[in-house]
Structure 1
Amino acid sequence: MAAAPPPLKPDYAERRRMFVKSGALQFALRETRAILTRRMVLGGLAVAIVILTLSAPFGTDDTLAPAPRAAYWATVVVLTYTAGVLVNRLFAGNGWGEGAWRIVSVLVTALVATVIVLALNYVTFDRTPLGMHAGWFLTVEILVVAVLVSAGLYVWTRPAPDTGETSPRPPALLDRLPLDRRGPLVAISVQDHYVQVITTRGQDLVLMRLGDAIRETGDVPGLQVHRSHWVALDQVRAARRTGERAVLTMTGGQEIPVSRTYLPAIKDAGLLPKGKDTP
């Protein structure tokens, strides 16, 4: 009988409960908090606030003194950027194609940013563009600017194009993990209705089927070695036979069982000799 999957660590049960309770929103909020604490992001937001305060676009130099103007643009920058990151994380890794979720993310971000700016203008200036002369035109103008800014941020932050010498694109499966656990894939194992995704930087549970998770490994060389397990070939440290089956020891020390059905595959991969089978 094949070895059972390793038991959940104590904190996994709590993470799993939170995932079920809050789902994608909780996951996106966690990633958004992690992104907003990066020094580079905080520095970029500060630069944007200074530039907008000094340049005073949209006539804010005529309507606001320097200190209130700085507070206004700081609120606009922080709220719209946070909303954009949150929307991006909600759409990332949802199974859509890369281009599709990016386009939808840009449009939704622009709509959310427009609502934020309109609400802030109402609070700050005690008026809404819809109640002003040419108000609809101003609203559309804000929306167009929001779309352009959102698209510009995407182009600025997307990975550099392939030059033939760049490393392969990270597998889509990593988009489902917390930022601090994203690293080279080691193994994927079934845990009830979840898969336990193990990387060199840690492990986490994701609510999906093993077959779907394997498809999201992308170009990572790997094999399914059991109905409940997949391994990355470059993370296998050792292999040994156990009767009619085998056990793979991964770089992190995890032991992954190999069922008899998948023995020929791991032999073809060079993990076991192709000679006569011996217990």
Structure 2
Amino acid sequence: MRQIRDNCASPTRVAFALRELQQHLRHPTTATILCAVALVLTIIDAFGLKDETTLAPHLIYMLVMVWVTYAIGFLVAQTFGAWLSSTRLSGLVGWLVQGAVAGVLILAAVLGLNLLAFGPVPPADMVSFAPSVIGATMVITVTLQRIHDIGVEPDQNPAILERLPFAKRGRLLSLSAEDHYTNVRTDKGEELILMRFSDAMKETAPIEGYQVHRSHWVSRSGIKDARRSKDRAIVTLTDGTEIPLSRRYLPTLQKVGLLPAPRA
């Protein structure tokens, strides 16, 4: 249990998730979509609040609700979901567990917001209210994860994956130089290809990632944790693989929030 807690809520992972969330919410597309969703929910009176409040407070309530619940779901996916992907609880079971965790947290947020806006939810209403919120969150989580696993359009896939056997073409995690070969690691396995490391890194676009060592490159989505261990630093991937981080590349990971800045 302690190991699970440490993996899910390590300071590095949480700080990374919070920084990702901040950047994500600041993106114009994200902000526009969330505001549009809140507006639509207000117009169709999704929660039956038309008789409880006027238009302006109704819209404000929906804006807060949409942004808060979205933020919770995002943080759960970046922390708890990242840990699940490296355990046996993968696939549908993992998605359901992640959805249940997000659902409970979102339920608490919704109840808190309703308490401030309208007062406590009557016990009789909780019988149907709580399961519906958690259930809806689980369905949304599984749906979004399924869409993610289907992948992006073929012309957006990194070219490096086309060099792998079909069974190993999964989510790109890392590249490692081995003599004249490059070891390509995905969430479906790894494969040695006859290719220079520098050329292999060029074929990772449009996947965001970082060179962390003269012989290693890691994708941003494949990083589970980054930490200092005595006189060296280590990046841990979502599949448990540990990759050394050289001093030359420390500033890069510090800049994106994966490693804390050195103490003065």
TM-score (norm 2): 0.55
CA distance in structure 2 between the aligned counterparts of 1:106 and 1:59, rounded to whole angstroms: 25
1:34-53 matched pairs, under 5 angstroms: 34-53=23-42
1:143 aligns with 2:144: no
Whether the 8 Å CA contact 2:210–2:217 is kept in 1: the answer is yes
Q: CA deviation at 1:39?
A: 1.9
CA distance in structure 1 between the aligned counterparts of 2:145 and 2:156, rounded to whole angstroms: 23
Structure number with the bigger relative contact order (C-alpha 8 A, sep ≥ 6) is: 2
Residues 1:101 and 1:23: Cα distance change in structure 2 (over 3 Å):
farther
Whether the 8 Å CA contact 2:14–2:79 is kept in 1: the answer is yes
Q: Name the SS of the counterpart of 1:81 in structure 2.
A: helix
Task: Specify every segment of 5 or more residues in structure 1 that has no aligned partner in the other structure, as ranges.
Answer: 1-20, 176-181, 190-195, 218-223, 231-279
Q: Name the SS of the counterpart of 1:172 in structure 2.
A: strand
CA distance in structure 2 between the aligned counterparts of 1:103 and 1:66, rounded to whole angstroms: 36
> Alpha-carbon deviations, 1:83-108, whole Å to 9, x = none?
11111111344323652554432221
Residue 254 of structure 1: aligned partner: none
Residue 183 of structure 2: aligned partner: none
Residue 111 of structure 1: aligned partner: 104
**Which of 44, 68, 73 lines up with 1:79 in the alignment?**
68
Percent of residue pairs identical: 19
Structure 1 window deviating more from structure 2 (74-83 vs 111-120): it is: 111-120
CA distance in structure 2 between the aligned counterparts of 1:200 and 1:65, rounded to whole angstroms: 48
Whether the 8 Å CA contact 1:28–1:86 is kept in 2: the answer is yes
Q: Name the SS of the counterpart of 1:59 in structure 2.
A: coil
Q: CA deviation at 1:146?
A: 2.7
1:252-263 matched pairs, under 5 angstroms: none
Could you say which structure has the larger radius of gyration? Answer: 1
Q: CA deviation at 1:37?
A: 1.7
1:158-173 matched pairs, under 5 angstroms: 158-160=149-151, 166-167=157-158, 168=161, 169-172=170-173
Task: Specify every segment of 5 or more residues in structure 2 that has no aligned partner in the other structure, as ranges.
Answer: 1-9, 162-169, 176-185, 187-206, 247-264
Q: Name the SS of the counterpart of 2:79 in structure 1.
A: helix
Letter in 2 for 1:206: A
**Which of 226, 249, 255 lines up with 1:206 in the alignment?**
226
1:61 aligns with 2:61: no
CA distance in structure 2 between the aligned counterparts of 1:158 and 1:197, rounded to whole angstroms: 25
Letter in 1 for 2:32: G
CA distance in structure 2 between the aligned counterparts of 1:102 and 1:166, rounded to whole angstroms: 23
Whether the 8 Å CA contact 1:53–1:69 is kept in 2: the answer is yes
Structure 1 window deviating more from structure 2 (47-56 vs 111-120): it is: 111-120
CA distance in structure 2 between the aligned counterparts of 1:134 and 1:212, rounded to whole angstroms: 45
Residue 117 of structure 2: aligned partner: 124
The count of aligned residue pairs is 186
Q: CA deviation at 1:198?
A: 4.6
Q: CA deviation at 1:76?
A: 0.7
Residues 1:161 and 1:25: Cα distance change in structure 2 (over 3 Å):
closer
Whether the 8 Å CA contact 1:83–1:112 is kept in 2: the answer is yes
Whether the 8 Å CA contact 2:174–2:217 is kept in 1: the answer is no
Letter in 1 for 2:99: V
